[in-house]
C-alpha cells in the first residue's frame, strides 16, 4: 500500500515536473493552452458532440426526437449483442485528427480531456458497471505503438469513476489486418472469433456488467466480437463506450 502511495506521489510529481518543463498543448491543434488536457477554445466549437435524441441501443444520433426507448433502423433489423453503446463525438476531420494525434504522437495526456465527455454520454452505463475493460491490441501492434490507446482511456476512466479496470481480461487471439478501408461485412469477417477472455478472468466476470472502452466506434464489428467473448465467459451484460463514432446515414 505504502509502495503504491509512493508511486502515486512520484507519478504526480513527474506530471507536475513535465508540466513545468513543457508548455501544455491542445490535444487537437498542438497549440499552447493553459493546462494539460485542455482543448483550444477556437476549435472547441467545431467538435461535434453527440447528444440526445439517440438510438436507445447503439447511440446513433437522431435528427428528431422520436420518443424514449426508440431504436434506429439498423438495431431494429438486427439488435446488437451489446446492451448499449454511446460515443462522445461524431467522427469528422477534427475528431479524426484528435484520435490520430492521440494514437501516434504520444498524446497520452489527451486521455484526461476525454474523461468528462465519456462520463457525460456514459453516465448510465458507468453507474451500473462492475468493471471497465478495453478493446485489446495485438502484441505486435502494441510493440509498434508502445501503448494501447483504448487501454489508456479505460484506465484513466476507471480511476476517475473508481471502477476496477481489467486491462488483460480480453485477448486478441490473432493479429487482424488494419480495417481502415474495409466495409462492415469485411470488418465482421476480419475480427470474427478474434477475441477471447483469458481463463483466469472467467470467474470474476460471472454475472457482471462490463463497460467496454474503445477510441473509435466505426461499424461496431470489433466491439460486437469483444462483447460475444465477454458474454461467452459469463458476463451478464456489456455496454460500449467510445470517444468518437462514425455516423453514416442509415
Q: Interface residues with Zn ion (CB under 5 A)?
A: 55, 57-58, 60, 72, 75
Q: Closer CB to Zn ion, residue 22 or residue 76?
A: 76
Q: How far is CA 4 from the centre of its chain?
A: 26
Minimum distance from residue 208 beta carbon to Zn ion (Å) = 24
CB atoms within 10 A of CB 42: 11
Minimum distance from residue 76 beta carbon to Zn ion (Å) = 8
Minimum distance from residue 79 beta carbon to Zn ion (Å) = 9
Minimum distance from residue 196 beta carbon to Zn ion (Å) = 26
Q: Closer CB to Zn ion, residue 55 or residue 197?
A: 55
Q: Closer CB to Zn ion, residue 91 or residue 102?
A: 91
Position of cell 458476463? 235
Minimum distance from residue 83 beta carbon to Zn ion (Å) = 12
Minimum distance from residue 25 beta carbon to Zn ion (Å) = 36
Give Cα separations from 56 to 4, 90, 211, 231 (angstroms): 40, 17, 16, 20
CB atoms within 10 A of CB 97: 15
- What b/e readout covers 163-197, taking b as 16+ CB neighbours within 10 angstroms? bebbbebbebeeebeeeeebeeeebbebbeebbbb
Q: Closer CB to Zn ion, residue 55 or residue 241?
A: 55
- CA distance linking residue 211 with residue 55, whole number of Å: 18
Q: Closer CB to Zn ion, residue 55 or residue 98?
A: 55
Q: Closer CB to Zn ion, residue 71 or residue 163?
A: 71
**Nearest residue to 190 (alpha-carbon basis) of 205, 174, 204:** 174
Residue by residue, DSSP assigns 13-24 as: HHHHHHHHHSPP
Amino acid at each position: 500500500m505504502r509502495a503504491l502511495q509512493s508511486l502515486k506521489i512520484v507519478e504526480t510529481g513527474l506530471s507536475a515536473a513535465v508540466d513545468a518543463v513543457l508548455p501544455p498543448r491542445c490535444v487537437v491543434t498542438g497549440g499552447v493552452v493553459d493546462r494539460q488536457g485542455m482543448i483550444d477554445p477556437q476549435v472547441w466549437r467545431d467538435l461535434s458532440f453527440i447528444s440526445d435524441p439517440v438510438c436507445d441501443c447503439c447511440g446513433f444520433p437522431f435528427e428528431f426526437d422520436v420518443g424514449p426507448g426508440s431504436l434506429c433502423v439498423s438495431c431494429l433489423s438486427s439488435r446488437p449483442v451489446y446492451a448499449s453503446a454511446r460515443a462522445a463525438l461524431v467522427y469528422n476531420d477534427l475528431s479524426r485528427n484528435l484520435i490520430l494525434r492521440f494514437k501516434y504522437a504520444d498524446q497520452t495526456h489527451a486521455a484526461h480531456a476525454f474523461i468528462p465527455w465519456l462520463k457525460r454520454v456514459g453516465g448510465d452505463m458507468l453507474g451500473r458497471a462492475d468493471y471497465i475493460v478495453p478493446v485489446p491490441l495485438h502484441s505486435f501492434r502494441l510493440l509498434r505503438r508502445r501503448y494501447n490507446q483504448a487501454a489508456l482511456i479505460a484506465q484513466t476512466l476507471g480511476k476517475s469513476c473508481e471502477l476496477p479496470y481489467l486491462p488483460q481480461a480480453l485477448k486478441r487471439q490473432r493479429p487482424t489486418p488494419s480495417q481502415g478501408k474495409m466495409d462492415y461485412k469485411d470488418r465482421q469477417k476480419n475480427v470474427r472469433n478474434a477475441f477471447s477472455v483469458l481463463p483466469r478472468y472467467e470467474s470474476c466476470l460471472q454475472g457482471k456488467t462490463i463497460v467496454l472502452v474503445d477510441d473509435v466506434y466505426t461499424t461496431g464489428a470489433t466491439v460486437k466480437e469483444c462483447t460475444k467473448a465477454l458474454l461467452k465467459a459469463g458476463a451478464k451484460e456489456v455496454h460500449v463506450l467510445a470517444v468518437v463514432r462514425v455516423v453514416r446515414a442509415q
